[in-house]
């Protein structure tokens, strides 16, 4: 079950919880997105994320289920923060467990790419020169 939350998260704890669910786990792949201090030639002071919460959590849950069914993995877990996020803080975490590493890598990359395309979460960068909504999803 995906999480959309303001609070930070413990990556190690979340990975252990997922691994302990399934003894067939042979590979774990994680993607951790963090707030960087420089973007598009500007110094970033902090970020803020807003979402359409009901739709965002439903879409994150659907992505987790699709990753399992489409890639033959064991589990997928997605956590995304909202609100104000300081430089160096965690933003998003995707954890994939699988019997084999190749499936885990493929599913993890797919999940973060699809999250950026499909989930109604918006990022605003606060810089030395003001604030700006980030429209594109790299």
pLDDT digits (tens, 9 = 90+) for 11-68: 999 999 999 999 999 999 999 999 999 988 889 999 999 999 999 999 999 999 999 9
Binned at pLDDT 50, 70 and 90, residue 135 comes out as confident
Q: Name the fold adopted by 3-123.
A: Aldehyde Oxidoreductase; domain 3 (3.90.1170)
Structure tokens at 57: 């959590």
- Where are the chain's structural domains? 3-123
* Dist CA 5 CA 28 (whole Å): 23
At 37, phi and psi to the nearest 5?
A: -95, 0
The confidence score (pLDDT) of residue 51 equals 96
Residue 130 predicted with pLDDT over 80: yes
| Cβ count near 75 (within 10 Å) | 20
* Dist CA 25 CA 43 (whole Å): 41
Q: How far apart, in Å, are the Cα atoms of 13 and each of 20, 27, 70, 81?
A: 11, 16, 26, 16
Binned at pLDDT 50, 70 and 90, residue 6 comes out as very high
């Amino acid at each position: 079950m995906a999480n959309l939350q303001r609070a930070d998260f413990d990556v190690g704890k979340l990975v252990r919880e997922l691994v302990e669910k399934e003894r067939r786990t042979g590979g774990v792949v994680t993607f951790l997105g963090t707030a960087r201090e420089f973007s598009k030639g500007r110094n970033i002071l902090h970020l803020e994320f807003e979402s359409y919460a009901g739709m965002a959590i439903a879409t994150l849950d659907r992505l987790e289920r699709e990753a399992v069914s489409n890639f033959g993995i064991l589990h997928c877990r997605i956590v995304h923060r909202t609100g104000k996020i300081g430089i160096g803080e965690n933003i998003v975490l995707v954890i994939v467990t699988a019997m084999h590493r190749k499936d885990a890598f493929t599913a993890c990359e797919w999940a973060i790419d699809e999250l950026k395309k499909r989930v109604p979460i918006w990022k605003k960068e606060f810089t030395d020169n003001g604030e700006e909504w980030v429209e594109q999803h790299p």
